Amino acid sequence: MNDQPRNLADIRMDYMLAALDEQTAGADPISFFDKWFIEADTSGISEVNAMTLATVGAEGTPHARIVLLKGIDERGFSFFTNYQSHKGNQIDANPNVALLFFWKELERQVRIEGTISKLPPQESDEYFQSRPAGSRLGAWSSPQSRVIETRQVLDANYAQYQQQFADGNIPRPPHWGGYIVSPTRIEFWQGRSSRMHDRILFTRLSDGTWQRSRLAP
Ligand SMILES: Cc1cc2nc3c(=O)[nH]c(=O)nc-3n(C[C@H](O)[C@H](O)[C@H](O)COP(=O)(O)O)c2cc1C
């Protein structure tokens, strides 16, 4: 076995799987995202709904982390989290965010930019109640993004909430819920050979319609 680290400069792929043209992308980027999402899901990609969420805080610096996409509809892209987390505070300071998917098995990237807002409370309640009891207790137990002294702090919180909600009726914590990203730009990237990739960009105009363009790779 060769256990020498590979030279990073030599790691590269040539993308040969598919092409993307204007006709295939169509006129509605949400429908086209649905199509690509179904293709990614049915091609066996694990955690196909994992996406990078980038936020910018009050101090103007960017922050990125993975969250799970839990809904797509004509309003946009939704996920769930702790409203008092670092990302929650950054979103309070600045509603401009970006989402990023990379489905490497399909040689595809989707970049989404837009503005974010909280989902209506009843939608957060509905999703919260669909989660396993352990995850619901976890949402109560974790002061997400805060410094904690030890792992035991979390385990003690969990045990306490297990006792508090011993009857199995676990309501949604007020600090936990959904956000929805209303997109203003959605770019579909399909890897092509020799770095001659296809990039189709949709930009939302002030009348709500989408303008489609092609970007150089
Ligand atoms: C695969 C994966 C999925 C995740 N999904 C979520 C999620 O849906 N919601 C969430 O709050 N954090 C999720 N996380 C954890 C976040 O990446 C992050 O650690 C957490 O939200 C705290 O981020 P913040 O301190 O920037 O607010 C996920 C992490 C991974 C690796």
Average pLDDT for 78-102: 98
Average pLDDT, the chain: 97
Whether residue 3 is predicted with pLDDT greater than 80 in this model: the reply is no
131 in contact with ligand 1, CB cutoff 6 A: no
Query: Taking 90 as the threshold, does the pLDDT of residue 4 lie above it?
Result: no
Confidence of residue 164 (pLDDT cuts 50, 70, 90): very high
| C-alpha R_g of the chain | 20
- What pLDDT was estimated at residue 1? 54
Q: Is the CB of 81 under 6 A from ligand 1?
A: yes
User: DSSP character for 161?
Assistant: H
What are residue 109's DSSP bridge partners? 102, 189
With pLDDT > 70 as the criterion, what percentage of the chain qualifies?
Answer: 99
Q: What token pair was written down for 77? A: 């892209």
Question: Tens digit of pLDDT for each residue in 17-75?
Answer: 999 999 999 999 999 999 999 999 999 999 999 999 999 999 999 999 999 999 999 99
CB of 86 closer than 6 angstroms to any ligand 1 atom? yes
The pTM of the full predicted model, rounded to 2 decimals, is: 0.96
- The domains located in the chain, with CATH, are 13-131+173-215 (2.30.110.10)
What amino acid positions are annotated as catalytic residues? Answer: 195
Q: Does the CA dihedral 75-76-80-82 come out positive or negative? A: negative
Ligand 1 mutation target, pool 68, 127, 176, most atoms within 8 A of CB: 68
Atom nearest to 144 CA in ligand 1: 22
CA 191 remoteness from chain centre: 21
pLDDT of residue 33: 98
Q: What is the rounded distance in angstroms from the CA atom of residue 180 to the CA atom of residue 53?
A: 12
* Beta strands at 198-204 and 71-73: parallel, antiparallel or unpaired: unpaired
Kindly give the number of the ligand 1 atom that is closest to the alpha carbon of 65: 17
pLDDT at residue 2 tops 90: no
